[in-house]
Amino acid sequence: MSTRLRIAVQKSGRLRDGSLRLLEDAGIAFRSGKDQLKSPSSNFPLEVIFLRDDDIPQYVEDGVADVGIVGENTVLEKKRKNNPIKKLGFAHCRLSIAVPRGTNYSGTGWLEGKNIATSYPAIVRQFLERRNVNAGIHEISGSVEIAPGIGLADAIADIVSTGSTLQSNGLQEVEHIMDSEAILIAGPQPSNGTKDILDQLLFRIDAVHSARNNKYILLNCPDEAIPRITNIIPGMKSPTIMPLARPGWSSLHSVVNENDFWNQIGQLKAAGAEGILVIPIEKMIA
């Protein structure tokens, strides 16, 4: 039987869709049915194992899975022997402390002697210790937001994405503990034969990320504007320039970074560019 890289992915939850989309964008074909526990790829030496998010660090440490996709917050909380390999750019969130709306919160000192409900006791304990605050920590899983309303705790510490869940439960965010996103982790010792496969996977992920972060741009411009436009969008090495049927004009093709896109478009128009087309990039390999 040929060697396969085993990758652990969240069975259900906020990381699942982004994890599967990343693998699919990397050209890896597999089935992802609701009740599947594992799924071998049909076109790449990889097998997806579907696990509970909290279990992934342990399975990776034990070598049941070679790598896993999990939130940074979970890795920090579980304290397993995992090696973070790469940030994956999705499932951005933050771990925050929230209190009932209308509370006269005056800073971390307010938490002294209070009770905090959370699914992340280790991270919260470290946060409180750094600020010399002595508070009780109640570890619960799921429905953390209800704790203040039923008298279980004075505050909560939980994952926040948009803040809408806190608002709907009458809570306000008062302390930011950490930012988190999905990361790829590996165990302390890679299994035999999987390093090359992992390198191939990382190569594909890098190509997907580069494509997401950049746009392909085509424009027409007078020839005398080419030096100025080239300085604005130099591309990966230099733009492609092709003469148009219209004398004194050329078509210029290049790549622009998503973060600089709108600012550069304004500069291009000011430099004399016309007929600007912006096209998504499916894959990008430097």
DSSP letter for each residue of 125-183: HHHHHHTT---EEEE--S-GGGTGGGTS-SEEEEEESSSHHHHHTTEEEEEEEEEE-EE
> What pLDDT band is residue 31 in, cutting at 50, 70 and 90?
confident
What angle is formed at CA 11 by the lines to CA 9 and CA 76, rounded to 5 degrees? 55
pTM: 0.86
For the 93-179 domain, the top CATH level (class) is alpha beta
What pLDDT, on the 0 to 100 scale, is given for residue 51? 95
* Surface-to-core class of residue 241, CB atoms within 10 Å of its CB (0-12 exposed, 13-18 middle, 19+ buried): middle
pLDDT digits (tens, 9 = 90+) for 65-83: 999 999 999 999 999 989 9
Does domain 213-280 fall into CATH 3.30.70.120? yes
**Pairing of the two strands 115-118 and 136-139:** parallel
Token pair belonging to 28 = 């890896």
**5-90+182-211 and 93-179 share one CATH topology?**
yes
**Pairing of the two strands 5-10 and 67-71:** parallel
Compare 247 and 1 and report the one with higher pLDDT: 247
Token pair belonging to 151 = 């008298």
pLDDT digits (tens, 9 = 90+) for 5-30: 999 999 988 899 999 999 999 999 99
What pLDDT, on the 0 to 100 scale, is given for residue 87? 96
What pLDDT, on the 0 to 100 scale, is given for residue 113? 96
The fold of the 5-90+182-211 domain, in CATH, is D-Maltodextrin-Binding Protein; domain 2 (3.40.190)
pLDDT digits (tens, 9 = 90+) for 129-170: 999 999 999 999 888 999 999 999 999 999 998 888 899 999
Q: Where are the domains of the chain?
A: 5-90+182-211, 93-179, 213-280
> What pLDDT band is residue 238 in, cutting at 50, 70 and 90?
confident
What pLDDT, on the 0 to 100 scale, is given for residue 260? 87
Those residues with Cβ within 8 angstroms of residue 237's Cβ, 6 or more apart along the chain or in another chain? none
Rounded distance, CA 12 to CA 111, Å? 33
Token pair belonging to 8 = 């652990």
What pLDDT, on the 0 to 100 scale, is given for residue 32? 81
